[in-house]
């Protein structure tokens, strides 16, 4: 399949939806491609309560003329102005664009600890997503741990689904969290939300400077050992939701050749990357939460459709919010003790079962990867890369196509029709994809 757009938006989370709606309002032919069965990204996952903003955005999207490519995963950027994507049934598509808006979001950071590979030990957002997808947690004992504002939100949501959240363990110390809380005073809605979450988890203790030292169980999770200072104690549980804040998804921007600084895509005030015609908005430019991300999506949509003045006007609102990115970074910085958690035989690379001991003796990610095959599995280093970067202080970079596993046939001429030039394709000449309903 081939299709061609004036603006192609990658990622249908809050950012991508805002960008697509904004660009479509300018009368351009806009495509919105996303690999999940349903739009909303991670933070607006169906299967639970959605905030009012989410309903409003989804409604705008539905009402717009954005061409929806829901369930398509972008796996390569073979030529300028072209992306390749693949659907679950094996169909592949060549998508042409004049301008590109990357709203690829973020993923959780996972750090290894003994027992972290047991079934039912999941990410915090991961557990939440799986519950929204139908995993039953009613009356199950859950430990939520790691770091970041996500923990409280997840704990509250799980409680709402009937789970017994027995502990919420935040690795950051109280003073830093208080400072972060003070920062929220400028955003009363966030404060209110925080308070709501706090009340929602009722009996569960919210502990700070506390983390999971180990998970135990034979074939699946049975209990965890929690550590707080010198204290250590065992907590029986059925699920763990443990994630250490977020890591930007910069694989596609990197593959395209966008400049990346400190793991984030560099953008100017109108969200343009170092590549002309390629914009990036939301978490890949810096983890800053949904409000900032949505605003950036709007700015990118405006800038990509030539509305520079309006884009700059919104950009002024953005600069006020950028402090939140720094605040998040500082509040949830990782405790160095977390480096000592994994034992010698704890897997670091889950795809290839590469244990911590195998990684010792290497001085950089590239050699470690080459010799141990850590990071060479299907996750392409998305899980073990950030872990290794923290554990060993390595620079973990290097992107190879495809940026997600794709069918071998999608690398053949089934998808590759040579250098397709989007401008050569008059609008409407190619079959458009049916608008998929949410």
Residues that bind another protein in the complex, under the rule CB under 8 A: 35-37, 42, 46-47, 78-79, 88, 90, 107-108, 110, 117-123, 125-130, 133-136, 219-220, 347, 350-353, 362-363, 366-367, 369-372, 375-380, 382-383, 398, 400-402, 405-416, 418
Taking the complex as a whole, how short is the minimal distance between the CB of residue 416 and another protein, in angstroms? 4
Nearest CA among 244, 255, 222, 228 for reference residue 141? 222
Taking the complex as a whole, how short is the minimal distance between the CB of residue 382 and another protein, in angstroms? 5
Q: Pick between residue 51 and residue 257 the one whose CB is nearest to another protein.
A: 257
Q: Pick between residue 219 and residue 309 the one whose CB is nearest to another protein.
A: 219
Taking the complex as a whole, how short is the minimal distance between the CB of residue 171 and another protein, in angstroms? 19
Only one residue has tokens 């400190």, namely 262
Instruction: Show the tokens assigned to 41.
Output: 């990204």
Taking the complex as a whole, how short is the minimal distance between the CB of residue 126 and another protein, in angstroms? 4
CA distance 104 to 107: 9
Nearest CA among 92, 83, 417 for reference residue 256? 83
Neighbours of 267 (CB within 10 A): 25
Cα atoms found within 13 Å of the Cα of residue 250, Cβ hemisphere only: 26
Q: Pick between residue 128 and residue 310 the one whose CB is nearest to another protein.
A: 128
Taking the complex as a whole, how short is the minimal distance between the CB of residue 42 and another protein, in angstroms? 6
Only one residue has tokens 């004992």, namely 141
Q: Pick between residue 90 and residue 173 the one whose CB is nearest to another protein.
A: 90
DSSP per-residue string spanning 186-202: T-HHHHHHHHHHHHHTT
- Geometric angle at alpha carbon 89, from 84 and 95, rounded to 5°: 20
Give the DSSP H or E segment for 232: strand 231-236
Q: Pick between residue 110 and residue 324 the one whose CB is nearest to another protein.
A: 110
Taking the complex as a whole, how short is the minimal distance between the CB of residue 140 and another protein, in angstroms? 11
Residues counted in the chain: 438
Nearest CA among 57, 55, 41 for reference residue 301? 57
Taking the complex as a whole, how short is the minimal distance between the CB of residue 405 and another protein, in angstroms? 4
User: Could you tell me how far CA 420 lies from the centroid of its own chain?
Assistant: 30
Q: Pick between residue 272 and residue 410 the one whose CB is nearest to another protein.
A: 410
CA distance 347 to 334: 20
Q: Pick between residue 81 and residue 126 the one whose CB is nearest to another protein.
A: 126
Instruction: Show the tokens assigned to 259.
Output: 């400049």
Q: Residues 197, 155: contact at Cβ < 8 Å?
A: yes
Taking the complex as a whole, how short is the minimal distance between the CB of residue 229 and another protein, in angstroms? 28
Q: Pick between residue 36 and residue 223 the one whose CB is nearest to another protein.
A: 36
């Amino acid at each position: 399949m081939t299709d061609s757009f004036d603006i192609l938006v990658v990622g249908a989370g809050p950012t991508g939806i805002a960008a697509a709606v904004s660009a479509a309002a300018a009368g351009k032919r806009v495509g919105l491609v996303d690999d999940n069965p349903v739009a909303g990204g991670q933070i607006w996952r169906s299967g639970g309560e959605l905030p009012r903003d989410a309903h409003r955005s989804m409604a705008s999207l539905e009402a717009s003329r954005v061409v929806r490519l829901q369930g398509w995963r972008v796996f390569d950027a073979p030529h300028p102005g072209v992306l390749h994507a693949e659907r679950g049934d094996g169909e592949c598509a060549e998508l042409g664009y004049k301008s590109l808006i990357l709203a690829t979001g973020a993923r959780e950071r996972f750090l290894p600890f003994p027992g972290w590979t047991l079934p039912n030990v999941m990410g915090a957002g991961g557990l939440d997503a799986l519950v929204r997808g139908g995993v039953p947690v009613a009356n199950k004992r859950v430990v939520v741990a790691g770091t970041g504002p996500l923990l409280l939100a997840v704990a509250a949501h799980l409680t709402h689904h009937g789970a017994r959240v027995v502990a919420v363990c935040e690795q950051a110390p109280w003073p830093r969290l208080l400072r972060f809380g003070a920062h929220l005073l400028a955003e009363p809605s966030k404060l209110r939300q925080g308070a709501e979450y706090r009340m929602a988890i009722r009996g569960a203790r919210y502990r700070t400077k506390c983390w999971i030292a180990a998970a135990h169980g034979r074939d699946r999770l049975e209990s965890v050992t929690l550590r707080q200072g010198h204290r250590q104690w065992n907590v029986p549980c059925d699920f763990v939701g443990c994630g250490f804040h977020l890591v930007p998804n910069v694989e596609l921007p990197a593959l395209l050749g966008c400049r990346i600084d400190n793991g984030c895509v560099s953008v100017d005030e109108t969200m343009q990357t170092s590549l002309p015609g390629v914009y990036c908005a939301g978490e890949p430019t810096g983890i800053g939460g949904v409000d900032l991300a949505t605003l950036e999506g709007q700015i990118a949509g405006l800038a990509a459709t030539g509305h520079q003045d309006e884009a700059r006007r919104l950009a002024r609102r953005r600069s006020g919010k950028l402090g939140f990115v720094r605040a998040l970074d500082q509040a949830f910085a990782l405790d160095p003790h977390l480096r000592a958690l994994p034992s010698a035989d704890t897997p670091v690379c889950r795809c290839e079962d590469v244990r911590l001991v195998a990684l010792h003796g290497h001085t950089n990610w590239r050699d470690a990867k080459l010799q141990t095959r850590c990071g060479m599995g299907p996750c392409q280093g998305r899980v073990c890369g950030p872990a290794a970067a923290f554990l060993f202080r390595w620079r973990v970079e290097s992107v190879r196509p495809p940026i997600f596993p794709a069918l071998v046939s999608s690398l053949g001429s089934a998808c590759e029709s040579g250098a397709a030039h989007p401008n050569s394709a008059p609008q409407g000449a190619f079959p458009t994809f049916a608008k998929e309903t949410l």
